[in-house]
A and B are shown apart, each in its own frame.
Chain A
Amino acid sequence: MVKKRVIPCLDVAGGRVVKGVNFVDLREMGEPIDLATRYSELGADELVFLDITATLEGRGPILGLIERAAAELTIPFTVGGGVTGLDDARSLLRAGADKVAINRAAFDDPSILTALADEFGSQAVVCAIDARAGEVVTHAGKTPRGRDAVDWAVEAVQRGAGELLVTSIDADGTREGYDLPLTRAVAAAVEVPVIASGGAGEARHLAEAFEVGAEAAIIASIVHERPERLPELKIELKEMGWNVRT
């Protein structure tokens, strides 16, 4: 059986990892690739690099970082953030990203998902969906789009997405657990794997996300604070009976 995945997400701005409000000294975190390599050694199943400022600032994606990551990492990684359209997404995949996560650009023009799936295979195409109270939001949660997140999830898969990264803006950063009704509804509505995102605080939260149908769960601040938390989480999940890679 395929194992449930635990995926650290590295939010990158200006080439540095920025997620985690409790970081006092960013230099101690190292560069994204160093941190990524550390997570890989500690048992991360894959990684997500999210260029969090890209859409707001209109800045293009971080191709140099991807080329290095492709050469140096030995686990899969997804790149998202700043994907403005088909050419942008294509350049990320051509630079060596295993998967590209597309959010607003796909919502605005779903044919992008189809074009990428045709060229790279749907396994390389992740549709990132941010939701607040079940409604799709874009631009880092600032713009409500008036569409039900589950409804959009179903269309995104029909269009070619091979995986969905579903983030609850309500839960993000709370450490009080994932948005389980949202995760459950999306996972039940589609055939592709669903990655739950936003709200991880402890192993129990990941277990809950798996329980409602997520194949994978994103963690961020809890491991950025203390990377050794990662193998501990995997062991705790295993002890709870989940099929994880340890």
Chain B
Amino acid sequence: MRVVLADYGAGNLRSVASAFARAGAEITITVDPAEVREAPLAVIAGVGHVESAARGLRMHGLDAAIRDRVTAGRPVLGICVGMQLLFGASDEGGSGMEILGGSVSRVQAARVPHMGWNTLEITQPGELVQGLDGEDVYFAHSYAVEPTDDAVVVAVADHGGRIVAAVQQGAVAGVQFHPERSALAGARILENALAWSKSA
């Protein structure tokens, strides 16, 4: 299965690329909107702020390519800031692509960033999170999404309250944690993502 990683200048994508390769994907890191538009699965990963990430996507015309994919029902997976980019305004400044309804808010907890291994609670069945209820995955973030429609939430974690850990709606999915840094549970998520995009 061919997977493209949108390269919009938000950090190093080697870890994500390698993790997908281990899961059996043929991975391409690209800034080319045509490639991002057409591949069977497009992944938006990266670190940093929503605002600069969104700017990076726009600058390369990748936001339009991703919207085209969504319209055509071709799968998109956002990882960490990539998931936040699927939503709207962020407390941190700027706004995502508003593909899913909701905003991005600062985590309210005794310790921020939310850093380390935390347990997934699957809130409704979804291809992406299949087999992952009760598994630990690695989080490293200070901001988290707050969807307007709870129906898009498929997994949560507890850190000073509910943290939305994974969302899925149609061909659009996102995970707040880092599958590429979540050992076997992370590998399972990426295998699920590949299976999901095959069937989508």
Contact = CB atoms under 8 A, between A and B. Distances in A.
Task: State yes or no: do A and B come from one complex.
Answer: yes
Interface of A: 1-5, 40, 45-46, 67, 70-76, 93-96, 98-99, 118-124, 162-163, 191-193, 215-216, 245
State the majority secondary structure of interface residues on B.
mixed
Q: Which of A74, A75, A98, A120 has the most CB of B within 10 A?
A: A74
Contacts of B116: 2-5, 45, 193, 215-216
Contacts of B19: 74
Interface string B96-121: 00000000000000111111111100
6 contacts: A2-B118, A3-B116, A73-B15, A74-B180, A75-B182, A163-B115
Contacts of B11: 93-94, 120
A3 B158 CA distance: 11
B159 interface: yes
Interface residues of B, number: 38
Contact of A76 (B110, B159, B181): B181
Given A71-B18, A118-B49, A215-B111, 15 more contacts: A1-B119, A2-B111, A2-B157, A70-B12, A70-B18, A73-B15, A73-B181, A74-B181, A76-B140, A93-B11, A99-B140, A122-B113, A123-B141, A123-B142, A124-B47
B18 A123 contact: no
Nearest to A244: B117
Nearest to A71: B18
B113 A193 contact: yes
